[in-house]
Structure 1
Amino acid sequence: MKEITIDNLKPGMKFDAPVYIDDHNILVPPGIPIREKDIERLKRWEIKHVSTDGNTITDSPEGDNLEKSLLSDLFDEKSDSAKAATLYDASVRKFIAVLDSIKKRQKHPKETIDSIVNDIFSVVKDEKNEIVQLVLHSERSSDDFAANAIACAIISIIIGMNMKLVGHKILSLACGALLHDMGMTRIPDSIRNKKEDLNAQDFNTIRTHTIHSYSIIVKEMKYPEEIGQIALYHHERWDGKGYPKNVSGENIPLFARIVSVADAYVAMINERPYRDQMIGYDAIKNIISDNFKRFDPAVVKSFLKGMGIYPIGSIVLLNDSSIGRVVSTHASAPLRPRVEIIMNQRGEKVDDELTINLHERSDLFIMRAIDPKMIRMDRGAMDHGAMDRGAMGHGEQAKQ
């Protein structure tokens, strides 16, 4: 193999064969761009050169189309069952209509809301893996109010199921998760859509959304107090530094503690004006590193049990330089899920189904999670430092 000095590596470079740090450790598989972060790590480790049998490659329309086709296969045909995808889209459309009626202060369609909640609960029970992938890979932004509310309800249901809540309690939890941010419809558009930085008064105005949400849910919609409290308390923190009441620990209603975790996760995997969306693994890592500040540790444990370190649908790089998609997780071994191989060690698409249970393969392990967009061989280095730049837009900044 030929050696390449670190000084000659540039962010965005790609090779048609694996690039190795040494005889056993891969830096990047074929076709995956080298990141600035990779180069910085090599320098920190005082590694002078890497080696490869390959040559540098440039993007071509044919190659780009091939990889876009691969992603289409992954997330449209394999991952999303017809039932899950159809119900997810229908629920989003229904909730858009609900939001419109609330904004116009018309009669609140409780029957529609209850129908959405029942449908979501049903699909999570029957098609959990498929619906999680829809949440993870659907292209949403912070402006997609309805889709984000549906996603929050889905994640809340998964946490509730792993906390062994009974069915009717999970329905109440899901209803509160769906409606928890309704008060944002009462915040002036001039503040919610403000392009420049928010001032102190703007922040205080946005933070009243929890009280508006409670009022809409309990006083206008006539839902029980238990559901209204989810909206009122979902921005309280485990350490007591949240709002609006600065309560802490188990004084925060359990359902609000659950929605707090789900809401944070959905916010992180959304695209923001100043960063790309986080991949699921980075969002999970961000939540479990909370150190008992914001989230209830018991809720985080149930969240992790339900989602896994590498959520269903995550794209991962294995130590043999192949790339796979996580298809199921092991609660007892979250770092060793079942993985379907989608690209082999040579960077070629795998047509025949090949699933590996890492729990039973001591010779294989996940080196890192990667952004699915990287498989498209997009030009330039991929930025995985978005998490360090924050996870919230104007509304989320103030809400936190």
Structure 2
Amino acid sequence: MRKLKVAQLKPGMVFDAPVYIDPNNILVQAKQELTQKDIDRLKKWGIEDVETSGQLVQESKAAPVSEFDTKEEPTPVSASFSAEALRLHSEYEQLRKTRNQFRNRLAEYGKTLEQNWKLLNEKKQFDNQSVLKISQSLVEDIFSVPLIIIAARYNYVSSNPIIAHAVHAACYGVHLGKALNFSRPRLQEVCLSLLLMDSGMTRLPMDLYTSKTDLEDHEKNAIRTHPLIGYKMLLNDARVKASLAVVALQHQESFNGKGYPQGLSGGQIDVMARMARIVDTYSAQLEERPYREAKLPYEAMKNLLSLGTEQYDPKLLRAFLGCMGMYPLGSLIELSTGQIGLVVGANAEKPLRPVLRLMRDEKNLPYSGLSFLDLMEYTQVYIVRAISEKESGVDLEQEM
């Protein structure tokens, strides 16, 4: 594959192989003419490069006037009434009714995990049942209120970043497992294994996790010991069954065999550990660190896809993209119409065409009620960019 600069693309160009926006999204098919609209779309998304393995077989034609050269303002769109938008409207109402109780439960989950990790480090009786109850409760939360996954990211779990990360990763892991049609008992196992996967980090100095500077080589090597430490802790001290403890051991293994601690590859890695590798990396990027700001969900997903099959199981990665979207659930985005929306529904077949709750109109004024927009219904409207709460002026804690 070779990169092509968007600035050098011209309408009428034809390549003898597909041109890709990213590994999962085709801009144009082989032998399909590139249009001015295609180029304008890339510019509005802020995309600077595309990729193709093909050769140019037709030069550009005289370009029509670009919408970038006109002063015509795009027309704002009104709410959708597609079946998907109406279904998500109902689910969103459920989210609003239950999110306060969910917020309280998340804080309780954090306390319970903190108490049990303390017991584990002191080699006292680890309460397996209390952690299992968290797993059962989280699975039930996500089944009964599917959009609760949006609220999970914005709510307090624990002042201990390792515990907060474990709960966030577990939520995304259950969401992925649900998309894979796992049974509830299986999902509870996925959840429990993710809650405990970083147990080994609790035996290492917290400075390694909170350092504001680049780690020294010996510090990086210390962190690389946490999977094996955690595995032994869970087997010997917590008496967690081996089929779940193995996720702690293998969650840093890469699909291409270049992970640690054992350098396993492909099917040698337990499927729950392969899931953990994806949701662990994704959720970590959304969390603020002393040395960097939290990334937007779109940036986190884009980073996952850029590494592709090098680190992640491609089938599981496609499933995660399908159930989260390229602009993942909970993302704030700006539309080509100037409106701002919150992503509340993913489209597995078209990851760039989610369902949105409209939060701001084209004049940046809030909507008085709930309005939803299905981008599969409005094909002339597209996402310009992902934005932060600060940029959008939307306070999701108050306005969700």
TM superposition score normalised by structure 2: 0.72
| Mapped partners of 1:243, 1:288: distance in 2 | 20
Using a 3 Å threshold, how does the CA distance of structure 1 residues 335 and 205 change in structure 2: closer, same or farther? same
Where in structure 1 are there 5+ consecutive unaligned residues?
Answer: 1-21, 30-36, 42-46, 55-73, 379-400
| AA matched with 1:137 | Y
Tell me, yes or no, if structure 1 residue 147 matches structure 2 residue 164.
Answer: yes
> Percent identity of the aligned residues?
25
Secondary structure of 2:135's aligned partner: helix
Per-residue Cα deviation, 1:89-109 (whole angstroms, up to 9, x for no partner): 321222222222223332111
- The counterpart of 2:192, out of the listed 175, 186, 198, is 175
Tell me if 1:355 matches 2:363.
Answer: no
Matched, 1:341 2:369: no
Q: Give a deviation string over 1:258-301, Cα, whole Å, max 9, x none.
A: 00101001111011223221111111111122231111101101
Contact kept, 8 Å, 1:141 with 1:271, in 2: the verdict is: no
Q: Give the counterpart of 2:237 among 216, 220, 228.
A: 220
- CA distance in 2 between partners of 1:238 and 1:141 (Å): 31
**Aligned equivalent of 1:316, options 310, 322, 333:** 333
Shift of residue 27, structure 1, vs aligned partner = 12
Aligned to 2:216: 199
Deviation readout 1:163-187 (Å, 9 max, x if unpaired): 2222222221111100000011111
Q: Which moved more, 1:238-247 or 1:152-161?
A: 152-161
- State the Cα deviation string for residues 350-378 of structure 1 (Å, max 9, x = none): 11322111111122221221112212399
Which structure is richer in relative contact order (CA contacts within 8 A, separation 6 or more)? 1
Secondary structure of the structure 2 residue equivalent to 1:274:
coil
Of 121, 145, 167 in structure 2, the residue corresponding to residue 103 of structure 1 is: 121
1:211-267, CA deviations, whole angstroms, 9 ceiling, x for partnerless residues? Answer: 111011111111111111100011011111111111111111111000010100111
Asked whether the equivalents of residues 25 and 319 of structure 1 are also in contact (C-alpha less than 8 Å), the reply is no
Structure 2 match to 1:370: 387
What is the CA distance between 1:159 and its match in structure 2?
1.5
Q: Secondary structure at the match of 2:308?
A: coil
Superposition pairs for residues 1-400 of structure 1, below 5 Å?
A: 78=96, 81-130=99-148, 132-138=149-155, 144-189=161-206, 191-376=208-393
Q: Is the 8 A contact 1:280 1:311 kept in 2?
A: yes
Structure 2: which 5+ residue stretches go unaligned?
Answer: 1-36, 50-65, 74-91, 396-400
Q: Secondary structure at the match of 1:240?
A: coil
**Aligned Cα RMSD in Å?**
3.3
SS at match of 1:245: coil
Spell out, residue by residue over 1:79-128, the C-alpha distance to the aligned partner (whole angstroms, 9 max, x if none).
Answer: 96234323223212222222222233321111211111111111011112
Contact in 2 for aligned 1:142/1:272 (Cα 8 Å): no
How far did 1:26 drift?
10
